[in-house]
Amino acid sequence: MRRDAPCTGEDPRGVVVVSAPIPALQIPELDQCVHCGLCLNHCPTYRVTRLETESPRGRIHLVRAASEGRIDPGERFAEHIYLCLMCRACETACPSGVKFGRIAEAAREVLGPPGSRSARILASLAFTQLFPKLGRLRLLIRLLRFYQRSRLAPIARRIIPRRLREMEAMLPAVPDRFFVPDAEVLPAVGVRRARVALLNGCVMPLLFGDVNAATVRVLRRNGCDVVIPRNQGCCGALNVHNGETVAAKQMARRNIDVFQAAAVDAVIVNAAGCGATMKEYAHLLAHDPAYAEKATRFSSMVKDASEFLADLGLTGPLGPVDMTVTYQDPCHLAHGQKIRAQPRQLLAAIPGLRLVEMEASDRCCGSAGIYNITHPEMSRTLLDEKMMSISRTGAAAVVAPNPGCMLQIQYGARRTGSNGIVVYHLMDLLDRAYQAAEHPSRLRLPS
Residue 142 CA to residue 189 CA, distance in Å, equals: 33
Q: What is the mean pLDDT of residues 295-305?
A: 98
End-to-end alpha-carbon separation of the chain, Å?
55
- Closest-CA residue to 92 (of 329, 275, 403): 329
Q: β-strands 9-10, 224-227: how paired?
A: unpaired
Note the pLDDT tens digit of each residue in 424-443: 999 999 999 999 998 776 55
- Closest-CA residue to 227 (of 276, 275, 260): 260
- pLDDT (0 to 100) of residue 171: 83
Q: β-strands 224-227, 185-186: how paired?
A: antiparallel
- Order across the sheet with 397-399: list the strands: 353-355, 323-327, 397-399, 422-424
Q: 152, 144 in Cβ contact below 8 A?
A: no
**Is the pLDDT assigned to residue 355 strictly greater than 90?**
yes
pTM for the complete prediction?
Answer: 0.90
- pLDDT (0 to 100) of residue 378: 97
Rounded to whole angstroms, what are the CA distances from 10 to 2, 6, 7, 73, 110?
Answer: 18, 12, 8, 14, 21
**Is the pLDDT assigned to residue 19 strictly greater than 70?**
no
**Is the pLDDT assigned to residue 173 strictly greater than 80?**
yes
Residue 25 CA to residue 40 CA, distance in Å, equals: 22
Count of helices and strands (H, E) across the chain: 23, 11
Written as one letter, the residue type at 414 is R
Residue 15 CA to residue 51 CA, distance in Å, equals: 19
Quick one: pLDDT band at residue 288, thresholds 50, 70, 90?
very high
Angle between helices 305-312 and 426-438 (to 10 degrees): 50
Quick one: pLDDT band at residue 239, thresholds 50, 70, 90?
very high
- What's the gap between Cα 112 and its chain centre? 19
Q: 334, 42 in Cβ contact below 8 A?
A: no
Q: What is the CATH class of 9-111?
A: mainly alpha
Q: What is the mean pLDDT of residues 46-74?
A: 95
- pLDDT (0 to 100) of residue 153: 86
Quick one: pLDDT band at residue 445, thresholds 50, 70, 90?
low
Main-chain phi, psi angles of 53, to 5 degrees: -70, -15
Residue 328 CA to residue 360 CA, distance in Å, equals: 9
**Which of 2.60.40, 3.40.50, 1.10.600, 1.20.120 is the CATH number of 318-438?**
3.40.50
Same fold, 185-310 and 318-438: no
Q: What is the mean pLDDT of residues 29-38?
A: 93
Quick one: pLDDT band at residue 120, thresholds 50, 70, 90?
confident
* Cβ-based neighbour number of residue 245 at 10 Å: 18
Rounded to whole angstroms, what are the CA distances from 98 to 60, 196, 315, 343?
Answer: 10, 32, 39, 26
- pLDDT (0 to 100) of residue 16: 47
Residue 248 CA to residue 403 CA, distance in Å, equals: 20
H helices of 160-261, in order, are 162-170, 204-207, 209-221, 237-241, 246-261
Domain ranges of the chain: 9-111, 117-170, 185-310, 318-438
Q: Which CATH architecture has domain 185-310?
A: Up-down Bundle (1.20)
Q: Could you say which DSSP state residue 186 is in?
A: E
Written as one letter, the residue type at 394 is G
Q: Is 14 helix (H, G, I), strand (E, B) or coil?
A: coil
Quick one: pLDDT band at residue 158, thresholds 50, 70, 90?
confident
Most confident of 25-34, 122-131, 308-317: 308-317
